[in-house]
A = this chain, B = another copy of it.
Amino acid sequence: MIVRRSVPQDQDAVWEILEPVIRAGETYALARDLTRDDALSYWYDPGKRTFVAEEDGRVVGTYYLRANQAGGGDHVCNCGYVTRHDVRGRGVARQMCRHSLSEAAGAGFRAMQYNCVVSTNTGAIRLWKDLGFEIVGTLPGAFHHPTLGDVDAYVMYRRL
């Protein structure tokens, strides 16, 4: 598997990856009815660098990297990762996260922050902890889960 910068030709595959996650509304703070155009505008925002994970010529994951704040906060970055549903559990997210840590450090960022990690997304939390992130904040009831109702969200942080 390789991870590389995304090009416009990836957008069909990226949308196939994003759509089920957005429609489920269980892990990402994005409107469940977001259109393809709005989702891709968000994922490929000019303030973001967007990457894909590719296996045997097929896009199996995608992530973005951006500054989390401007000004005095612009040395801290933020990422979002999504793995294609049919390749889950095979280390795609881990490889994308490792790639993002290296990209971020190379770009001069000194820390990485996840702003809204849904507390019921236990697999992701385990992975981020394994990769050196700590829960530095708990936002009480900050995520409205479609079946579980209001659940906590975590702020996770790692120095680079």
A74-B142 Cα distance, complex, nearest whole Å = 9
Given contacts A137-B138, A157-B139, contact A71 B31 (CB under 8 A): yes
- Kindly list chain B residues whose C-beta atoms are within 8 Å of the C-beta of A150: 75, 110
Question: Which among A8-16, A22-30, A85-93 touches the partner chain?
Answer: A22-30
Give A152's nearest chain B residue, CB to CB: B136
A87-B93 Cα distance, complex, nearest whole Å = 51
| Least CB distance, A117 to chain B, in whole angstroms | 11
- Taken together, the copies of this chain in the complex come to 2
How many residues on chain A are close to B (CB under 8 Å)? Answer: 39
A107 near B: Cβ within 8 Å? no
| Least CB distance, A37 to chain B, in whole angstroms | 15
| Least CB distance, A157 to chain B, in whole angstroms | 6
A32 near B: Cβ within 8 Å? yes
Residue in contact with A118 in the complex, picked from B28, B31, B72, B74, CB distance below 8 Å: B72
Please list 12 pairs of residues, one from A and one from B, whose beta carbons are closer than 8 Å in the complex, sorted by A's number. Answer: A28-B72, A29-B70, A29-B71, A32-B71, A69-B142, A73-B116, A111-B141, A113-B142, A136-B140, A137-B138, A141-B159, A142-B157
Residue in contact with A70 in the complex, picked from B31, B145, B159, CB distance below 8 Å: B31
